[in-house]
Amino acid sequence: MPITDSDDLSIEFARAIDAASPLREHRERFVFADDTIYLDGNSLGRLPRRTSQRLREVIDTEWGRDLIRSWPTWIARHDDVAAALATGVLGVRPSEVTIADSTTVNLYKVINAAADLRPGRSVILIERDNFPTDLYVVQGIAKARGMSVRVVDSDIDGGLSVEQVRSALDDDVALACFCHVSYRSGAIADIEQITGVLHEAGAVAVWDLCHSAGAIRTPLAQARAEFAVGCTYKYLNSGPGAPAFLYVREDLHDQVRQPIWGWFGQREQFAMGGDYDPVEGIARFTSGTPAVLGLSAIEEGVRSITDAGIDELEQGGRLLTGYGLVLADSWLAPLGFTVASPRAASRRGSHLTLHHRQAWQICQAMIARGVVPDFRTPDRLRLGMAPLTTSFEEVWRGFDAIREIVETDEHLQFPAERARVT
């Protein structure tokens, strides 16, 4: 049941919603530091309590005591965690997902593989407001392969539409690389319809799931999308720098090769042969040795999502961002804020973006108060409401802090220009 502007906007109302939430018991499994109001779970998820213990087991016992004898355990864990991520988070077959490298490296792998599937075509399609690493990887691959990049001018707040994609397609487009959820506005792209339009034009679909995996359903199987990638340190709560994942539709495994050949993708790995012969299945998209500590953190992060259930999380995220929308309209619109995310819950991921001409200064004032948001150009506050860990009270307190900061001009003590972040 959506929250409307006729509902009680008191903190007691927020607490009552939290008390009735089916996600409440799951929230208690995470570390909450001091009195920080954390509205940036779409950048880095909170730490599951179990992860600290799990990593200590890996360090002290599996590594410290058992040393190299733990490799069979670690390899089996890699396959098990990838399978759990596939079925419990992405809704695809266990055989279609592997965990490896970073999102950027995995993009490089799957975009090259996608281009190989359409050798007679020379154009890569991408949205202008795609995440920068996607743009850079596409530009680099196009330059190396003698291809060209065609940019779709989607709406910075409303996101990518089916018709915008359709109008950009022709017989030269080999593949398209799009984000399921816009990193800036939270707008959801329709995976099923857009993939269908790409297939009608003979193009291959590559989806970036970084801002959707673990927060909303990702209908890759229903769309029959060919490829996807994503990170694990946002809604999957696997920690900074945790390895990424990639998805390749099963019927394509024997048709494609990825460009980074390494010994973990090699058939008869320990024969130490001199010529590369890729193993069958999704494992051919691996290259080097798995990052065991990161993998073990992913295990706990994925468990936190699958225990809660992706349907419950999607609904929880819609309620949280919808509540934020009501607070923004009631409290912040009179102070010069506008909503820079889709208003329809079905078109919005699990973060809400607000536009204000002094957003950078407001962001710094919030951080100084212990309220952690995110800033994105141009002049936008991005407020991540991770459905597994963010409470309605936390949203209330965060928006109340924004209101008080702007009403008292507290933000004006901070520089108007954004400093370079390295």
Catalytically active residues are 131, 208, 233-234, 382
* DSSP class of 30: B
Secondary structure of residue 200 in the 3-state scheme: helix
Q: Residue 180: CB partners within 8 Å, gap ≥ 6?
A: 188, 189, 191, 207, 208, 209, 211, 212, 218
Q: Are 224 and 199 in contact (CB under 8 A)?
A: yes
CA dist., res. 245 & res. 94, Å (int): 12
Q: Tell how strand 380-384 and strand 374-376 pair up.
A: antiparallel
Query: Which residues pair with residue 227 across a beta bridge?
Result: 206, 248
CA dist., res. 26 & res. 216, Å (int): 17
Quick one: CA torsion of 71, 74, 76, 77, rounded to 10 degrees?
Answer: 170
CA dist., res. 156 & res. 180, Å (int): 14
Return the number of other C-beta atoms located less than 10 Å from residue 200's C-beta.
10
Q: Are 154 and 163 in contact (CB under 8 A)?
A: no
Kindly report the backbone phi and psi dihedral angles of residue 321, in degrees, each rounded to the nearest multiple of 5, phi listed first: -70, -35
Count of residues in the chain? 422
Q: Tell how strand 204-208 and strand 173-179 pair up.
A: parallel
Give kind and range of the element (H or E) at residue 175. strand 173-179
Please classify residue 236 by burial: count the beta carbons closer than 10 Å to its beta carbon, then call 0-12 exposed, 13-18 middle and 19+ buried. buried
Q: Are 307 and 26 in contact (CB under 8 A)?
A: yes
Nearest CA to 50 out of 303, 339, 305, 352 is that of: 303
Task: Enumerate the H helices of 201-258 as residue ranges.
Answer: 220-223
Residue with tokens 């801002």: 211
* DSSP class of 39: -
CA dist., res. 365 & res. 34, Å (int): 18
